[in-house]
Amino acid sequence: MTVEVRGIFCVVGADGFLGSYFIRHILQNSDEKIIALNHKEAAFPDSKQLTNMIFELSDEESIKKAAALLSGFRDIRILFLASVHNPDIIKKDPDNALYINTVCYNRFLESIKDLDIKKLYYASSDTVYGESIDGYSFTENDTPAPVNIYGEQKLGAEKITLKHGFSVIRYSALCGVSLTSRKNHFCDMVVNSVSEGKEFFLLTDWRRPALSYKDAADITYRLFGTDIEEKIINICSDRIYSKYEIGIKLCEHGNFNKQLLIPATKEELGVFTEKRADDIYMDNSLIKSLLRIDSLELKF
């Protein structure tokens, strides 16, 4: 499917995992201009194509500055990734997270309401759905039933997005090594550990239709280049993976010793303080139909 993208991209939360992969995809495949709003440090240096700005969603002046920067452009496409998103951190201070994830997010949308926004996608999560029962795969039309505060706040931000006339992407678990030095993904931890000959424990009772950051970035970019009007879209792979199975695929891809990966349960590891669903399965029929994709598998 041929997709033509025009205008300027703005990536809010550009220095995170998906944001950096998304920007890299644009830089490698297009001459499209990009404004990257980074929480801490830029994933890629400024260039004729890319303009970086430090952005703090909870700061009103930062929002005004970002809106002023965008006001000089037309046909703006925004991928909004910024949020407090660790369920354990949110549990410790839910009010602050709610303020950032909903009140400040709404303030940002209000600040750009008079600009020429061609399309905005809010990056939501499979956590809004809650637990899959008997292997059920959630569709975009199913009623959400999140099991933790993070999922509830994501659902609240979705409602704000839709109220402003924009769209939501519900991503399943996304995987890949980090492109920045700011934060390691669990994939980095796996690679670092097994490359040093050390064992690494991975969960078997956490299962998602996981997809790579690379492929998620590609699919998201293609969505921006279409006239698709669906307001909520699932993005995930065709099959279910535990974190242990993801680790196996990662080791096979990098030719590492997968025998160093040790299967374990959440109870055995005691890694989470906030409740999480064991299984969240999503149906990806809509995105595959919209973009004419035959299959989606986890590939590194």
pLDDT at residue 66, rounded to an integer: 97
pTM over 0.85: yes
Which stretch of DSSP H or E encloses residue 18? Answer: helix 17-29
Query: Which of 207, 214, 208 is CA-nearest to residue 18?
Result: 214
Distance CA 118, CA 112 (A): 12
Displacement of CA 83 from its chain's centroid (Å): 10
Indicate the helix (H) or strand (E) that contains 200.
strand 200-203
Torsion of CA 67, 71, 72, 75, to 10 degrees: 110
Q: Which pLDDT belongs to residue 184?
A: 86
| 300 falls within a domain | no
* Res 4: pLDDT: 42
pLDDT for the residue numbered 280: 97
- In order along the chain (300 residues), what is the average pLDDT of each group of 10 residues? 63 96 97 95 94 97 97 96 93 96 98 97 98 96 96 98 98 94 86 94 94 98 93 98 96 95 90 87 98 96
Residue 91: inside a domain, yes or no? yes
Give the strands of the sheet with 117-125, arranged side by side. Answer: 50-54, 33-38, 8-12, 76-80, 117-125, 167-171, 232-235
pLDDT at position 2 is 40
DSSP helix/strand/coil, 235:
strand
Write out the residue range of the structural domain in which residue 116 sits. Answer: 8-175+210-239+276-290
pLDDT at 5: 41
Provide the pLDDT for residue 274.
Answer: 85
- Residue 280 belongs to some domain of the structure: yes
222 within a domain of the structure (yes/no): yes
User: Residue 76 falls within a domain, yes or no?
Assistant: yes
Backbone dihedral angles phi then psi of residue 12, each to the nearest 5 degrees: -95, 120
Q: What is the pLDDT of residue 1?
A: 41
Q: How far apart are CA 250 and CA 241, in angstroms?
A: 12
214 is a domain residue: yes
pLDDT number for residue 272:
81
Q: What is the pLDDT of residue 266?
A: 86
CA pair distance 247, 67, nearest whole angstrom: 41
Give me the CATH number covering residue 28: 3.40.50.720
Instruction: Report pLDDT for 92.
Output: 93
How far is 193 from 200, CA to CA, in rounded Å? 6
Is residue 239 within 8 A of residue 210, CB to CB? The reply is: no
Residue 269's pLDDT is what? 85
Tell me the C-alpha distance between 274 and 85, whole Å: 12
pLDDT at 85: 86
- Show the tokens assigned to 173: 């678990």
When divided into structural domains, the chain yields a total of: 1
pLDDT at residue number 156 = 98
Is residue 299 within 8 Å of 237, Cβ to Cβ?
A: no
Q: Are 264 and 201 within 8 A, CB to CB? A: yes
